[in-house]
Structure 1
Amino acid sequence: MPSIRHEVLARGVPWIHRAREIDDLLTEKARLELAHRRLDRSFPSRAVPGFAKRFRLDREDAGGFPSYVVTPRDVPVKRTLVYVHGGAFVAPIDPFHVRWTTRLALATGARVVLPDYPLTPESTWQASHEQIVDLTARWAAEPGGTVLAGDSSGGNIALAVALTMRDRGLSMPGRMVLHAPWVDLTMTAPGTPEAAGRDPWLHLGKAHAYARWWAGRDDLTLPQLSPVNGDLDGLPPALMLYGTRDLLAPGCQLIALRARASTWDLTVVEEPDLIHVYSLMPLPEARRAFRTTVEFLG
Structure 2
Amino acid sequence: MPSLRHQLLATVIPKVRRSRELENEPVERARVEAWHRTLEPGLPTRAVPRFGQRWDVRVEDIGFPSYVLTPRGRRATRTLYYVHGGAFMAPIDPVHVRYATRLADAIGARIVLPTYPLAPEHTWADSHDALVADAGRWAGEEGGVVLAGDSAGGGLALAIAVAMRDRGLTPATHLVMHAPWVDLTTSTPETRAVDAIDPWLFFGKLQAYALWWAGSSDDLGRPEVSPALAELAGLPRAMVLYGTRDLLHPGCRLLVRRAAEAGWDLTAIEEPDLIHVYGILPFAPEARRAFRQVVAFVDGGVLR
TM over 0.5: yes
Partner of 1:167: 166
Partner AA of 2:292 in structure 1: R
Instruction: Give the TM-score, by structure 2 length.
Output: 0.96
**Separation in structure 2 between the aligned mates of residue 235 and residue 119 of structure 1, nearest angstrom:** 27
Tell me the distance in 1 between the aligned counterparts of 2:290 and 2:142.
Answer: 27
The residue type equivalent to 2:65 in the other structure is P
Q: CA separation in 1, counterparts of 2:227 and 2:188?
A: 12
Q: Distance in 2 between matches of 1:265 and 1:190?
A: 26
Counterpart contact for 1:181–1:252, Cα < 8 Å: yes
| Further displaced range: 215-224 or 146-155 | 215-224
The answer (yes or no) to whether the contact 1:160–1:225 under 8 Å persists in 2 is yes
- State the 1:219 CA deviation: 2.0
Shift of 1:106: 0.9
- The offset of 1:188, in angstroms, is 2.1
- Matched with 2:286 is 285
Asked whether the 8 Å contact 1:41–1:92 carries over to 2, the reply is no
CA contact (8 A) 1:60 1:69 kept: yes
Counterparts of 1:190 and 1:34, CA distance in 2: 33
Distance in structure 2 (CA, Å) of the matches to 1:24 and 1:203: 13
Q: Distance in 1 between matches of 2:189 and 2:21?
A: 21
The amino acid across from 1:214 in the alignment is: W
- Tell me by how many angstroms 1:74 deviates: 1.5
**1:268-287 Cα distance to aligned partner (Å, 9 max, x none):** 00000000000001111000
The one-letter amino acid of 1:182's match is W
Q: For each residue in 1:16-66, what CA deviation from the matched residue of structure 2 results, as whole angstroms up to 9, or x when unmatched? A: 10100010111000000000000123101222111111111111111x200
Q: Does 1:259 align with 2:259?
A: yes
Indicate the residue corresponding to 1:22 in structure 2. 22
Report the Cα distance in structure 2 between the residues aligned to 1:164 and 1:144, rounded to whole angstroms. 21
SS of corresponding position for 2:185: coil
Aligned equivalents of 2:19, 2:203: Cα separation in 1: 12
Structure 1 portions without partners, runs of 5+ = none
Structure 1's consecutive aligned runs of 4 or more residues displaced over 2 angstroms after TM superposition are none
Number of equivalent positions: 297
Q: Assess if the C-alpha contact under 8 Å between 1:175 and 1:238 holds in 2.
A: yes
- Deviation, 1:165, is 0.9
Counterpart-to-counterpart distance in 1, 2:127 and 2:211? 16
Query: What does residue 100 of structure 1 align with?
Result: 99
Counterparts of 1:1-298 in structure 2, within 5 Å, are: 1-62=1-62, 64-217=63-216, 218-282=218-282, 283-298=284-299
In 1, Cα distance between the equivalents of 2:114 and 2:23? 31
* In 1, Cα distance between equivalents of 2:238 and 2:276: 19
SS in 2 for 1:58: strand
- Give me the whole-angstrom Cα distance separating, in 1, the residues matched to 2:222 and 2:148: 21
**158-167 vs 114-123, which deviates more?**
158-167
Question: How big is each residue's C-alpha offset from its partner over 1:204-228, in whole Å with a ceiling of 9 and x where there is no partner?
Answer: 0001000001001342111111111
Give the secondary-structure state (helix, strand or coil) at the position aligned to 1:197.
Answer: coil
TM-score (norm. length: structure 1): 0.98
Cα contact 1:140–1:173 (8 A) shared by 2: yes
Distance 1:87 1:191 in 2: 22
Q: Alpha-carbon deviations, 1:134-157, whole Å to 9, x = none?
A: 000000000100000110000111
SS of equivalent residue, structure 1 residue 75: coil
Amino acid at match of 1:228: A
Taking the aligned partners of 1:157 and 1:260, their CA distance within structure 2 comes to 20
Question: Equivalent residue of 1:245, what SS?
Answer: coil
Cα distance in 2 between the residues matched to 1:212 and 1:156: 15
Q: Is the 8 A contact 1:2 1:273 kept in 2?
A: yes
| Structure 2 counterpart SS, 1:294 | helix
Mapped to 2, the partners of 1:173 and 1:276 lie a distance apart of: 25
Q: Which amino acid aligns with 2:215?
A: G
Taking only aligned residues, the RMSD between alpha carbons, in angstroms, comes to 0.8
Unaligned runs of 5+ in 2: 300-304
Name the amino acid aligned to 1:220: L
Deviations 1:112-161 (A, max 9, x none): 10000000000000000000000000000001000001100001111111
* Secondary structure of residue in 2 paired with 1:91: coil
